[in-house]
């Protein structure tokens, strides 16, 4: 099966640009059209947070309008730029979302179980793992130990080396890492937030951050680096799963490319 992963789409109200520069809505429309045109088509789409930029309902409704163009079901998790209650209201028809508290969920998506942990902290940009989150995740993973599972979070649980991103990372992840290590059905931990593709061996599985469809954060691996981003490359991730080969994750670049060139 194929599962696409969008992240950090940062949609503004209609008529507004992301950072007053980037038409993030147009970029998301291009991603939606690309996913719909894939052969074979993904069966599900995951969205690992930051649907809007300031958390307002007009951003979320604009994002929702574009995402409703997907030809397959969507499972979305909020990020630090989303307001939890506005998000819950905007996705009130997503019956898997809880009516109160963090927007954790678990959904059977064909052969794969999707488990999402909402570690956002209302009003803050960093993430944090609390005891209640671990209790929910432990019970959820324990309930289906044989089921191949993808775990979703907005913030990666690791240090990126880009100092201005790491100031807003997910904190208190030691218990989470220990818990995930006890559950080898977790094929990968899929994240966003950092607007770059990163990989880390973590908790006995692979932690992965997807690209943003809006911008890419600059690769500035020194402590005093000033925050910076560029208009690309942007894209999404495509995860292929079968029980014999396991999970293989691809990164799809949405920028204009010359080609195709002859293979030989």
Is residue 179 within 8 Å of 141, Cβ to Cβ? yes
- Give whichever of 80 and 173 is closer to Fe ion, judged by the CB atom: 80
Please count the other Cβ atoms lying within 10 Å of the Cβ belonging to residue 15. 7
- Give whichever of 72 and 121 is closer to Fe ion, judged by the CB atom: 121
Please report how close the Cβ of residue 41 comes to Fe ion at its closest, in angstroms.
28
Instruction: Tell me which residue has tokens 């080396």.
Output: 161
- Give whichever of 42 and 102 is closer to Fe ion, judged by the CB atom: 102
The binding track of 65-104 with respect to Fe ion, each residue x by CB under 5 A or -, is: --------------xx------------------------
Q: How far apart are CA 264 and CA 245, in angstroms?
A: 27
Is residue 223 within 8 Å of 239, Cβ to Cβ? no
Tokens of 235: 């894209």
| DSSP result, 111-151 | TEEEEE---B-TT-SSEE--HHHHHHHHHHHHH-TTS-EEE
Please report how close the Cβ of residue 143 comes to Fe ion at its closest, in angstroms.
29
Tokens of 52: 């809007």
- Give whichever of 187 and 209 is closer to Fe ion, judged by the CB atom: 209
Rounded to 5 degrees, what are φ and ψ at 147? -90, 120
- Give whichever of 112 and 151 is closer to Fe ion, judged by the CB atom: 151
Is residue 205 within 8 Å of 141, Cβ to Cβ? no
Please report how close the Cβ of residue 160 comes to Fe ion at its closest, in angstroms.
12
Please report how close the Cβ of residue 98 comes to Fe ion at its closest, in angstroms.
21
The binding track of 38-57 with respect to Fe ion, each residue x by CB under 5 A or -, is: ------------x-------
Please count the other Cβ atoms lying within 10 Å of the Cβ belonging to residue 228. 12
Residue of minimal Cβ distance to Fe ion: 193
Please report how close the Cβ of residue 154 comes to Fe ion at its closest, in angstroms.
6
- Give whichever of 104 and 154 is closer to Fe ion, judged by the CB atom: 154
Q: How far apart are CA 117 and CA 170, in angstroms?
A: 12
Largest Cα separation within the chain, whole Å, is 57
- Give whichever of 10 and 183 is closer to Fe ion, judged by the CB atom: 10
- Residues 161-220 touching Fe ion, rule: CB under 5 A, are 193
Please report how close the Cβ of residue 262 comes to Fe ion at its closest, in angstroms.
41
Burial bucket for residue 52 (CB in 10 Å: 0-12, 13-18, 19+): buried
Q: What number of chain residues touch Fe ion (CB under 5 A)? A: 4
Please report how close the Cβ of residue 152 comes to Fe ion at its closest, in angstroms.
13
Q: Which residues bind Fe ion (CB under 5 A)?
A: 50, 79-80, 193
């Amino acid at each position: 099966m194929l599962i696409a992963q969008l992240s950090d789409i940062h949609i503004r109200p209609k008529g507004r640009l992301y950072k007053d520069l980037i038409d993030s809505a147009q970029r998301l429309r291009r991603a939606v059209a690309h996913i719909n045109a894939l052969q074979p088509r993904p069966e599900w789409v995951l969205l690992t947070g930051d649907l809007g930029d300031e958390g307002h309902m007009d951003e979320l409704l604009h994002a929702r309008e574009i995402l409703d163009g997907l030809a397959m079901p969507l499972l979305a998790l909020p990020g630090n730029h989303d307001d939890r209650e506005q998000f819950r209201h905007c996705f009130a028809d997503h019956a898997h979302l809880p009516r109160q508290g963090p927007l954790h969920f678990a959904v059977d998506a064909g052969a794969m179980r999707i488990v999402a942990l909402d570690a956002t902290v209302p009003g803050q940009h960093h993430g944090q793992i609390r005891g209640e989150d671990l209790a929910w995740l432990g019970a959820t993973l324990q309930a289906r130990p044989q089921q191949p599972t993808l775990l979703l979070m907005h913030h990666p649980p690791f240090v990126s080396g880009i100092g201005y991103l790491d100031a807003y990372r997910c904190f208190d992840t030691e218990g989470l890492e220990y818990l995930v290590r006890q559950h080898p059905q977790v094929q990968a931990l899929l994240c966003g937030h950092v607007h770059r593709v990163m990989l880390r061996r973590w908790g006995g599985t692979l932690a992965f951050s997807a690209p943003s469809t809006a911008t890419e954060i600059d690769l500035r691996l020194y402590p005093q680096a000033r925050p910076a981003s560029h208009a690309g490359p942007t894209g999404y991730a495509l995860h292929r799963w079968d029980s014999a080969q396991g999970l293989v994750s691809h990164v799809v670049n949405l920028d204009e490319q010359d080609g195709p060139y002859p293979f030989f």
